[in-house]
Amino acid sequence: MSSDRYASLVNSPVGNFIAPKVGLPQPVKLERYKPGQPVVTGKAFIGAAPGGRLGEAIVAALKSADVEFGYSEPGAAPEGDERYKALIFDATGITDSTQLRELWQFFHTTIRRVKTSGRIVVLGTQPELTTGPREATAQRALEGFVRAVGKEVRKGAAAQLIYVAPGAEDQIESSLRFFCSPKSAYVSGQVVRIGAGVAEAGPIDWGMPLAGKVALVTGASRGIGAAIAKTLARDGAHVVGLDVPPLADDLEALMAQLGGSSIVGDITAADAPTMIADQIAEKHGGIDVIVHNAGVTKDKTLGKMDEDKWSVLLEINLSSEERIDDELLARKLINENGRIVCVSSISGIAGNAGQTNYATSKAGVIGMVQSMAPEFAKSKITINAVAPGFIETQMTAAMPIGTREAGRRMNSMLQGGLPVDVAETIAWYAGPASTGVTGNVVRVCGQSLLGA
Ligand SMILES: NC(=O)c1ccc[n+]([C@@H]2O[C@H](COP(=O)([O-])OP(=O)(O)OC[C@H]3O[C@@H](n4cnc5c(N)ncnc54)[C@H](O)[C@@H]3O)[C@@H](O)[C@H]2O)c1
């Protein structure tokens, strides 16, 4: 992995003195989750617009997660000068644009009390599920608020909007835990939709949420895929890593370390879907989590791109995923409350010169997630995507320095993310309690300026 020497320099004693004087960006070291840590490494503070419906659910989730919290009555400022690791605001009571003032009322007194790597979470109602245009307008406005707050807070703090469908109040805990914790270190300015659960979650062991589950991770031998395999194994899953024959040794070494198993093969091979399905059926009887991580770039401007660069990439990054899912679904090998997680890219959202093939494939991944979510819901399975931005891997280390530095700094965190940031987001989707989270695309990009 490449190292961010600039961040080390501006955070050295000399750099720390000079950087603010000459206006250099100063990325802070982001807090990341360490096993055994509390969900929130400090106190939370909660508030609500009058008439909100999530108060009880928020309090129940925070109590379950052992989070200490204070709260204010609508319109009242917090007493004293205490600082908070998380601010949580129930905005579901806002049914008209004139009531958006409630956001200002709560946050203008609390925002300066957010600690380094703090979290701001606003909860609302999906505009499409509101009772009429006035409420839909006001709820849609929350997006702009949260995205602007994400850009203002700095110092590693992050802001998200979680839309909770009426009737899905009991589904918020896994998302609240993730977005209030250091696991969401490099996620900011995102909008998540939670609906009624597609399956029964059953009892949850929050320390080992994937115990007893089997998780297939493609492209697992290195980079982001290796981080996903390690994180899912940390959460208790038996990981089945898949990678191409030239990387078989690396794959098998990692799987041995994680107590997992390996499938060596090329996902684009004609017999790959049956080969994968056969191995899962024989060795595990079924699968709980599928992470479509394997992917490649083959950059060239369109006029200079030969057919191979186009077709091979589309096969690896998109079409093979569709075929594997179809086979596993047709053979009923995806267990109830199963999870499919796809790795897209902000290039698939914003587009990128020299990446027409890659952006097409990664936008297609988003299309697959959104179109298949209702289909998979019928089989009690969720499907979601992560869209990473600039992540420090061998791939980004090989970029020319200008592009690399721009990628690192053009986001609210002023730095690149780590493979584990993508992996933690996938672990949140994969958790058995995230049964109401489907059809979502969450960017893991530090709120990059590229794209929406
Ligand atoms: N690194 C980033 O900044 C970044 C940003 C956005 C999206 N992504 C996406 O994240 C995913 C992982 O990227 P990475 O940076 O870890 O890349 P990487 O090249 O280090 O890893 C990709 C893995 O996929 C495997 N793979 C490729 N083709 C395969 C095939 N036909 N069959 C089986 N396995 C195959 C490779 O062998 C490799 O182990 C990719 O889908 C990539 O597009 C990465």
Residue whose CA is closest, atom 25 of ligand 1?
Answer: 219
Please tell me if the CB atom of residue 247 comes closer than 6 angstroms to any atom of ligand 1.
Answer: yes
Q: Look at residue 14 in the predicted model and tell me its pLDDT.
A: 66
Q: Output the CA 397–ligand 1 centroid distance in Å.
A: 14
Residues 90, 187, 207: CA angle, nearest 5 degrees: 80
Q: Which atom of ligand 1 is nearest to the CA of 417?
A: 3
Ligand 1 center to residue 446 CA distance, Å?
A: 20
The number of the ligand 1 atom at minimal distance from the alpha carbon of 317 is 41
Instruction: Say if ligand 1 is within 6 A of residue 222 CB.
Output: yes
191: CA distance to ligand 1 center in Å?
Answer: 25
| Cβ partners under 8 Å of residue 11, min gap 6 | 26, 27, 28, 29
Q: Which domains does the chain have, with CATH numbers?
A: 1-30 (no CATH), 40-194 (3.40.50.720), 214-444 (3.40.50.720)
The rounded average pLDDT for each run of 10 residues, N- to C-terminus, in the chain (452 residues) is 69 66 77 95 95 97 97 78 95 98 95 96 98 98 98 95 98 98 98 96 94 98 97 98 98 98 98 98 98 96 97 98 98 98 97 95 98 97 97 85 88 95 98 98 95 69
For residue 162, report the phi and psi dihedrals to the nearest 5 degrees: -115, 115
Instruction: Take atom 43 of ligand 1 and give the residue whose Cα is closest.
Output: 295
The two tokens of residue 340 are 């499919």
User: In this structure, are residues 162 and 194 in contact, taking their beta carbons and an 8 Å threshold?
Assistant: yes
Residue 263 beta carbon below 6 angstroms from any ligand 1 atom:
no
Report CA(266)–ligand 1 centroid distance (Å).
13
Ligand 1 atom nearest the C-alpha of 295 is 41
CA of 51 to the centre of ligand 1 (A): 46
For residue 3, what pLDDT is reported?
72
Q: What phi and psi, each to the nearest 5 degrees, are found at residue 234?
A: -55, -40
Residue that the structure tokens 């024959």 belong to: 245
- Pairing between strand 158-164 and 84-90? unpaired
394 within 8 A of 1, measured Cβ to Cβ: yes
What's residue 81's pLDDT?
86
User: Which residues are CB-contacts of 123 (< 8 A; sequence separation ≥ 6)?
Assistant: 54, 58, 88, 89, 90, 91, 92, 161, 162, 163, 164, 172
28-70: per-residue pLDDT in tens? 999 999 999 999 999 999 999 999 999 999 999 999 999 999 9
Q: How far is CA 355 from CA 80, 303, 347, 410, in A?
A: 53, 12, 8, 19
Q: Is 414 in the pocket of ligand 1 (CB under 6 A)?
A: no
CB of 396 within 6 A of ligand 1: the answer is: yes
Any ligand 1 atom below 6 A from CB of 416? no
Nearest residue CA, atom 41 of ligand 1? Answer: 295
Q: Is 244 in the pocket of ligand 1 (CB under 6 A)?
A: yes
Q: In DSSP terms, which residues pair with 339 in a beta bridge?
A: 289, 382
